[in-house]
Structure 1
Amino acid sequence: MQSDFWSRTVTIEISSHEKAKINNVRQAAEFLLKSWRGPKDDLYKQAVIQCTHAIKGEAPADAALLHFLVAAKQSKARIELSEDWSKPDEFVSGLWRECERILRTSIDERSTDT
């Protein structure tokens, strides 16, 4: 079974007085299902699906992390990244590039639908 722990911590604001520290796929899935304040759009649904696949061992935890970050970023949630994100290694750089690509694609698809 694959590990569902992420190599980095994501902190996301729930309210002005409450934040959630998310270190693994199960915590992300729980956050998505119980504490999500953003729109439950396609990016949100993809994050839930990827977390489900990762929990079942059908996908890597990093795929769930990517989709979680994309959904959070799109929803304009306030995200804080742990200190180890400040040293952008190849993984972090690639992750953010992929986030940006997915968001651009999503925006492009919405603009062609209208």
Structure 2
Amino acid sequence: MEDWDKIIVLQLKDPKQQTLPVRDVKDAARILLGKWPRKQGTGYRQAVLSCSAALKGSASQETAQSSFMAAAMEAAIPFEVKDRFETEIAAVCDAIFQEESTAFALAAPLSDLDGPTLPFWQKPLPTSGRLAR
């Protein structure tokens, strides 16, 4: 199954104010059949039919995605459309920063007379092409 170039991020209206990324037709179909708040209306029916047709190969991914967004608007579900690459690279960067922060916190001595060592992303950039010694 082909992933969409643009991810639809639904803003769910639950106590946690959760977000739900929709990355492809299968995600969209699962949400429409499972978590969708209003399983009626023209937009909902069109989205279900479009997703079904796209899964069978008789409709385009773009048609299914557009129908899904129209159904979200009809159901008053707020959403954002995000670029897949930007979203994925941001998630990897967040994971790296989290690992670095955790490692930094665990490695920091209890009494550091010279001050704390900064994680790599907070260190100043070198002023020349030579490595610091």
Match of 2:106 in 1: none
- Partners of 2:42 and 2:22 in 1: how far apart? 21
3-state SS of paired residue (1:82): strand
Quick one: which amino acid aligns to residue 24 of structure 1? D
Across the two proteins, how many residue pairs are aligned to each other? 82
Match of 1:12 in 2: 10
Distance 1:56 1:83, change over 3 A: closer
2:5, 2:83 within 8 Å by CA — same for their partners in 1? no
More helix by proportion, 1 or 2?
1
Say whether 1:52 aligns with 2:45: no
Quick one: which amino acid aligns to residue 8 of structure 1? K
- Partners of 2:48 and 2:56 in 1: how far apart? 12
Q: CA deviation at 1:19?
A: 2.0
Q: CA deviation at 1:73?
A: 0.9
Distance 1:49 1:4, change over 3 A: farther
- Partners of 1:35 and 1:14 in 2: how far apart? 10
- Partners of 1:83 and 1:5 in 2: how far apart? 12
Match of 2:32 in 1: 32
Question: Which is higher, the Rg of structure 1 or of structure 2?
Answer: 2
TM-score, normalised via structure 2 length: 0.56
1:12, 1:78 within 8 Å by CA — same for their partners in 2? yes
- Partners of 2:27 and 2:39 in 1: how far apart? 19
Structure 1: stretches of 5+ with no match in the other structure: 85-114
Quick one: which amino acid aligns to residue 31 of structure 1? I
RCO (CA 8 Å, sep 6+): is it higher in 1 or 2? 1
Match of 2:67 in 1: 67
4+ residue stretches of structure 1 with deviation over 4 A?
none
1:38, 1:72 within 8 Å by CA — same for their partners in 2? no
Match of 1:80 in 2: 80
- Partners of 1:51 and 1:8 in 2: how far apart? 16
